[in-house]
Structure 1
Amino acid sequence: MKKNITYCGHIGIIGRTNVGKSSILNKLINNKISITSKKSGTTINNIIGIKTIQQYQYIYIDTPGIEIKKKYFKKNILNKNNYLKLIIFVISTIKWLEPEEKILKILKKINISTILVINKIDYINNKKILLPFINKIKKKYNFIAIIPISAKTGENIDALNTIIKNNIPQSKYIYSKNEITPLSKKFLISEIIREKLIRFLNQEIPYLIKVIIESYYIDKFKICNIVASIFTKNLRQKKIIIGKNGKKIKMCHYLSKKDIEKLLNMKVKLYLKIKLFNLTQ
C-alpha cells in the first residue's frame, strides 16, 4: 500500500517594523493568533501559527520587526535559525530603504528561497507605479516570486497561498492536524490584553508594557476565571492605563474579554490588576 506523501516546513515572515507581518500571518492561517496595531514594535516575540490542509502543513513564524541598529540586528530569526524552508520578506507599499537593504544583505548569505510580499497596496492609489517598482526590485535579488497584496482586504492572499504551497518541501508533519499554534493559552490571552492596551493607549505608554496571567482556571459552571496583571513602570503610566474615571481600563477589559471568549469558545470572568514593575530588570 502506497504511503500518503505529506509536505511540511517552517516559513519565516520577516521585515522591518509596522509592515503588516502579523496581519499576514493571521490571514494565512485564517485565525487571529498574532496581535496587531498601527504602533511600531507591537510584536515582541516570535509567534508561531500552523495551518494544515490535506497533505500540507505550513508552520509560520511571525517575527518582531528587524531593527537596523547593530546590537538588535544580530538577534533576528535569520541570524540564529537555519531550519527555515521558506521566507516571506514583507515590505510596505513601495518603500525600500536602509532596513530592506540590510535584510537583503543577510538573505544573500543564507540562501533560503524567499518570496517578496509588497503589502498594503490598498494604500496605493495609482497602481501603475507597482510594475516599475517590481522590475527594479527584481534586479536586486532572485526572489522566487514578488507579489503585491493587501492583508487588510485579502487581495492576492490566495495567490500567495499558492506560491507557498508550490515551494514547501516534502516532509512529515511536525504538529497534529488540528493544532493552530504551539503557544500556550495563557500566552495568547496575555497578548490579547496587551493588544487592547497598545491600541487604546497609542503613544501614551511604551509598547513594552508587560501582561502576566496570574491565575487561569475553569469553575464548576464551565466559566473560565482569569486574573491578569498589567505591569508598568510608574504611577504616571498606571494613571494613563486606568484613564479618567477608569474609562480606558474598562474598555480594554470589555474588548479583551470579548476576544478571549472567542479564543476559548466559552464564557470568561476576567480580572485585571495594574502593578508597578521595572521593565528594564
Structure 2
Amino acid sequence: MTDTPATRCGYIALVGRPNVGKSTLLNRLIGQKLCITSRKPQTTRHRIMGIKTTADVQYVFVDTPGMHLDNKHAMNRYLNRAASTTILGVDVIVFVIDAGGWAKDDDMIVEKLKQAGVPVVLAINKVDRLANKEDLLPLLASVNEKMAFQDIIPLSATKGVNIEVLEQQLANLLPHSEFFFAEDQITDRSMRFVAAELIREKLIRRLGKELPYALTVEIEEYVQEDGMLNVGAVIWVERPGQKAIVIGKGGSMLKEIGRQSREELEKMLDTKVFVRLWVKVREGWSDDERALRSLGYSEDS
C-alpha cells in the first residue's frame, strides 16, 4: 500500500457570468498577469490555465469565458460550451459573482454547478466598490438559499482583499497528490497564444463598445533571432468599415496598438520585440462554426 502524498494538487475552475472579475482574480491568485482584462463583457474567450505552486500545494486554476443566457450566435454558443465543459473533471469550483447583486445568469450557472458533484466555493467579488459593507448582508442572506456552498468568501481581486482566505480554503479542498506540473510553470499556454491575447486586449481597451466582439487576433509569425523577437499578427474583422476603424486615420490606431503590445511583451519577456500588424476582413467569422475552429476557437483549445 503506497503512502498518501504529503502534497496537495488539483484543478480549480473559476466560473461566473461575464465581467464579474474571473480573469482579474486568476491574475491575482498566481501573482502575475496571465489573462487579459477589460471592463467589457466576454473579454475572455478561451479556457486559460494558471498554475500556482507553494511548498506543499499546487493550484491549477482554469479561467473560463463568462457563462450567459444568450446563445444566439456561434461565438456565444462556443463561450458557453467552453465554460460548461470545464466544470466537468475539476476538483473544486470557485463560483464568482459580483457584490453588486445576483443576476439571472447566476441562476442558470447554479443549476449547472449542482450537477457537477464537487465542492463549490462562492466568491463575492468587487466588495471594494461597496460604500457601506453592510450593503452586502442581504446578498449574503439570499445566496445561502441558492445551493449548499462549501464556503462563501467576500473578496476583492483588484485590491487583494481575502485572497489568502480563498487560497487556504482551496488548499483544504484539494486532494492529496503529487504535483502535475513543474514548480516554475505558470500556464499550459504558449507565449504565441499570450501574445495574441495581449494584442487583442489593447484593441478591446482602445475601441468602441461593439467592435471588440467582431475582431480576433491570429499570430502568423513568432520568431526569435539575433536577440529580437519578431511577432507578426493578423487582426480579423467582419466588415470593411471595421477595418478602417482599427487602422485609424493615417494608420494611427494600428501604430498605437502595435506600440502598446510591443512594450508589454518586452516587459514580460525581457527582450527586444518587433510587432507587425495587419488588418483583414473575414465576413461573419464570429457566427460561423467552421471559421471559429479555423481561428483557434475549439473546446480543446
TM category, shorter: over 0.9
In structure 2, the partner of 1:213 is 219
In structure 2, the partner of 1:249 is 254
* 1:132 partner letter: P
Q: List per-residue Cα deviations over 1:136-172 (Å, max 9, x = no partner).
A: 2112221111111111111111221121122111112
In structure 2, the partner of 1:83 is 89
Q: List per-residue Cα deviations over 1:233-280 (Å, max 9, x = no partner).
A: 222111111122322222211111111112222111111111122323
Question: 5+ unaligned residues in a row in structure 2: which ranges?
Answer: 292-301
In structure 1, the partner of 2:107 is 101
- Number of residue pairs the alignment of both structures matches: 279
In structure 2, the partner of 1:58 is 59
Rounded to whole Å, the distance in 1 between the matches of 2:270 and 2:183 is: 19
TM-score, structure 2 length as denominator? 0.87
CA distance 1:137–1:230, shift in 2 (3 Å):
same
Rounded to whole Å, the distance in 2 between the matches of 1:158 and 1:239 is: 46
CA distance 1:89–1:208, shift in 2 (3 Å):
farther
Equivalent in 208, 231, 235 of residue 226 of structure 1: 231
CA distance 1:181–1:108, shift in 2 (3 Å):
same
CA distance 1:152–1:177, shift in 2 (3 Å):
same
In structure 1, the partner of 2:158 is 152
Which sits farther off after the overlay, 79-88 or 236-245?
A: 79-88
1:171 aligns with 2:172: no
- Where do 4+ consecutive residues of structure 1 move more than 6 Å? none
Rounded to whole Å, the distance in 1 between the matches of 2:220 and 2:80 is: 33
SS in 2 for 1:5: coil
Rounded to whole Å, the distance in 1 between the matches of 2:138 and 2:281 is: 52
Equivalent in 203, 209, 217 of residue 209 of structure 2: 203
SS in 2 for 1:247: helix
Rounded to whole Å, the distance in 1 between the matches of 2:181 and 2:196 is: 23
**Following TM superposition, by how much is the alpha carbon of 1:80 offset from its aligned partner in structure 2, in angstroms?**
6.1
Superposition CA RMSD, Å: 1.9
TM-score, structure 1 length as denominator? 0.93
SS in 2 for 1:194: helix
**Following TM superposition, by how much is the alpha carbon of 1:230 offset from its aligned partner in structure 2, in angstroms?**
0.9
- Checking the alignment, whether the CA contact within 8 Å between 1:39 and 1:202 is kept in structure 2 is no
- Checking the alignment, whether the CA contact within 8 Å between 1:93 and 1:118 is kept in structure 2 is yes
1:132 aligns with 2:145: no
Question: 5+ unaligned residues in a row in structure 1: which ranges?
Answer: none
* 1:258 partner letter: E
Among all aligned residue pairs of Structure 1 and Structure 2, give the percentage whose two residues are the same amino acid.
38
